[in-house]
Chain A
Amino acid sequence: MIQFDNVSMRYDTGHEALKRVSLTINKNEMAFLTGHSGAGKSTLLKLIMLMERPTNGQVIVNGRNLKSIARREIAYHRRQVGVVFQNHQLLFDRSVFDNVALPLVIAGHQPREIGRRVRAALDKVGLLEKEKHNPITLSGGQQQRVGIARAVVNKPSILLADEPTGNLDPQLSTEIMQLFEQFNQVGVTVLLASHDLSLIARLQHRMLTLRDGQLIEAMR
């Protein structure tokens, strides 16, 4: 489902954030990406989202080599990949509903369909009753769940998360993790970057560890 072949990534500054990384994440798998701050976790996720292009090697997502995706096709590629970020990137000029609806509006769905899917997604993250609220009135954990609802509302086959629990206390973090596991159980491939080892070590998923841009461990 996600495959990296000898991928290196050098930023314009000259810093090599990834060095010859090779990995495979299978369909329906849930995997953790760990490593110290600055190890290259976010960079790896950005390559999958085509927010950056590798300097070397190739990235294959859903059987498609990302090299072959032209600039104006990037948008369509991103619709197949849901993303959740630490700074949840919600828009505070509109309601929770409208935030979650955005990917569907972009994809050109009809209003009835949008309403149905947004409510289903909000229901899954337990925030159905907040649909009319402005996300700024929600707690950090709730905002993160709105971000997750937005990431899954378009039923992407892949879900990426970059430090999704970074700002949350352990209790909330565990709940968020359970949410990702639920999506994984219904067939979504999940790749989750986190430096919080204590949190992910307890969960039974493959761990990919980066150190200074190199993949040092790929173990179960």
Chain B
Amino acid sequence: MVEIRRPKQSAGERHTTRREQQGASQSKTTLLGRLRSWLMHNRQVAGESLQRLLMTPMASMMTWLVIGIALALPMGLYVALGNVEMLSRGWDGAAQISLFLRFEVTEAEGRQLTKKLALRADVQSAQYVSRREALEEFQSLSGFAEVLGNLDENPLPALVIVRPQDSDATADITEQLLQDLRKMPDVELAQLDLEWVQRLYAMMRLGRHMVMALASLLALGVLLVIGNTIRLAIENRRDEILVIKLVGGTDAFVRRPFLYTGMWFGLGGAITAWLIILLSLFWLSAPVAELAGLYDSQFALRGPGIVDTLGLWITGAILGLLGAGLAVNRHLDAIEPQ
């Protein structure tokens, strides 16, 4: 550590009180020392502000919870969208055509047709599902097992599931293929299962916009909540503010504890929001795993990643600072020693 000290003053200089003061403050507080004590003071004020909040745990907890819920809504929606996106990532080329065969078509004919289809250039794969298999699958998925078991006859047709070849240029090729398939005599109905994927994407786009709208709205709410809380804190510490201003505290000095208080409110709220989301994901994970199992999927819910988590915390802290800043600007100037 480098300490730059001014040389000792001469006795003559020491007699003048004014010079003595300035000399003393210059020799004892170097620039580096000043920076150091400024940092230390900030750390101390930050610590004291947090301690103050923890001294009234119920009131602070309520504020954190309010902010937490407000932040958890858009963040939760965002996490949910992320999960849907991940789940649907493999579906771009997942356009598939269900080819329902006429009842008169025998199983042998059906399998023959499937082989023929699989050889087509625009078809990636074709899979035959017999009437019995269709029924079994339907029973296991729908829970209508008993009802269906009571029927004399299997109501389901056999079908061929056709996956179109090229997944990039899906639309055109698939459309052409669909037309061809519909013309086949054995085919009762050819149905493209793509529309709902497109619908899903449209909904996800909508969802993203909703997250933004909701986030801005609730961020505004958080600003107001923090602003109001800080306004009360300022009112409570009126005497202290007056004394500080009277003995030469700068505006920055007076503001600092309130800005830190706001930051702690925001950060605490963001962490609360994060916990709410983690809890919700935990609560949902078992049913989701069950559902995924039914579809033979390894899918598991994914929580907010490191980046999103840090982003949430930082956003919370910044919102807190901003809210406090607004309150401080509005209310602090009014408190002047009289």
B-contacting residues of A (Cβ < 8 Å)?
27-28, 49, 51, 62, 72, 75-79, 83, 89-91, 93, 102-103, 105-111, 113, 150, 154-155, 157, 187-188
Contacts and interface: CB of A to CB of B under 8 A. Distances in A.
| Minimum-distance CB pairs A-B, first 10 | A79-B248, A78-B248, A187-B17, A75-B250, A103-B247, A106-B249, A110-B37, A75-B248, A108-B37, A155-B21
B41 A157 contact: no
A89 B249 contact: no
Interface string B1-37: 0000000000000000110110011001100011011
Nearest to A78: B248
25 contacts: A49-B246, A49-B337, A62-B18, A75-B250, A75-B251, A76-B250, A78-B245, A83-B246, A83-B247, A89-B243, A90-B243, A105-B41, A106-B244, A106-B248, A107-B25, A108-B29, A108-B34, A108-B37, A109-B29, A109-B37, A110-B29, A110-B33, A113-B28, A154-B247, A155-B17
Given A51-B337, A89-B242, A75 B249 contact: yes
Nearest to B15: A187
Residue among B34, B242, B244, B247 facing the most chain A CB atoms (10 A cut-off) = B247
A102 B29 contact: no
B109 interface: no
A102 B338 contact: no
B17 A51 contact: no
Given A109-B37, A110-B36, A155-B24, A188 B248 contact: no
Interface of B: 17-18, 20-21, 24-25, 28-29, 33-34, 36-38, 40-41, 239-240, 242-251, 253, 336-338
A133 B243 CA distance: 19
A64 B38 CA distance: 28
Residue among A27, A75, A155 facing the most chain B CB atoms (10 A cut-off) = A75
Nearest to A108: B37
Given A108-B34, A108-B37, A108-B41, A51 B244 contact: no
A178 to B, nearest CB: 20
Nearest to A71: B251
A101 to B, nearest CB: 11
A90 B244 CA distance: 11
Contacts of A51: 246, 336-338
Contact of A102 (B21, B28, B243): B243
Given A109-B37, A157-B18, 12 more contacts: A83-B247, A89-B242, A91-B240, A102-B243, A102-B244, A103-B247, A103-B248, A106-B248, A107-B25, A108-B29, A108-B38, A155-B17
